[in-house]
Amino acid sequence: MKLAVITDSSAFLPDSLRGNDHLFVLDIPVVIAGETYVEGKNLTASEFYEKMAAADDLPKTSQPSVAELEETLTRLAGEDYTHVLGLFLSSGISGFYQNIQYLKDEFPDLKIAFPDSKITSAPLGLMVENALTWAAEGQDFEEILIKIQRQIDGTSAFIMVDDLNHLVKGGRLSNGAAILGNLLSIKPILYFNDEGVIEVFEKIRTEKKATKRLIEVVEEKTASASYQVMVIHGNAEEKAESLRQQLMEAGIADDIPLATFGSVIGTHLGEGSVALAYIPLV
C-alpha cells in the first residue's frame, strides 16, 4: 500500500510533518480588505489577527478548491499511489465535504476515503499525523480508517469567545443579545456538536466562571478513556498558557500542547478566543 493523506490549511499541523512526501495540503484562501492570502504561505496566524483588527469588515473565507483536489488525485494516480485518505474541515462549517464525494468514483486506480472529520484545527492535524504514522508502521487502509473514525466519533472542542460583537458580525448572535451579554459580562461557551456544527453550549457569567466550566466539561468528557487534550487560542497565548497550567494542576493531563486558530475559525470566533479540544487515543 502506498498511502497519500490530503488535508486543508485549516488543519494545525505539527512541525514534524513538514516535508512529508505523503502529505498534501489544499489551500483555503482568505480575503482581508480586498487582498487574498493563504495561511502558511503569505500569512501567519498573528498577521491574520492584526489585519482582521485593522479591517472595517470581517475577512471572507472560501472552501478549498475542488479543482485543486482533482488535480492532486490525478497526480497521485500517476505516481503509483494506491490509497488516498482525505481529512478536511468539518462539513458543519464548510460545504467542501459534500462537494467532493463524487471524486471517489472518478479514479478507479485509487482507493479513496473522505470521512467527515466534524472538526478542524489541532484535532484535525493530529488525525492527519496519526494516519501517516500508522501507514508508515505498515497498518492496512481499513485498519487506519477504523481508527480514524473512532477518533472522529470521540473528538470535540469547547470554545470560550472573548468578543460577543464579533459573533454578531459573523451572524451567530443577535445584536440585542450581544448588548445584553456585554452588560452582564456573559461569556458564551460554544462547542462542536455531534454533526460538526458550532453551537452555543452554555452562557456563563464572567470569564473566570466560564474558564472553570470549560475545565469541568472537558474533565467530564475525558474521564472514561485516554485522550489527547489540547489548548487552542486566537492570538491569546497568555490566556491559553494559563488555561493549560490550570488543566495540568487539575490532573487532567500532563502533556497538553498549545495550538492557534487560523484564519478559517478565527474569522468566526474572533481574537481572544480559547478552546479546549480532546481526541481519543486509539
Radius of gyration of the chain (CA): 19
| 121 beta partners | 11
Phi, psi values for residue 262, rounded to 5°:
-85, -160
pLDDT of residue 202: 86
> What is the full DSSP assignment across 54-80?
HSSS--EE-PPPHHHHHHHHHHHHHTT
> pLDDT tens, 2-30?
999 999 999 999 888 988 999 999 999 99
Q: What is the pLDDT of residue 268?
A: 80
* 214, 256 Cβ separation under 8 angstroms: no
Q: What crossing angle do the helices spanning 237-249 and 207-221 adopt, rounded to 10°?
A: 50
Parts of the chain with a pLDDT under 70: 163-185
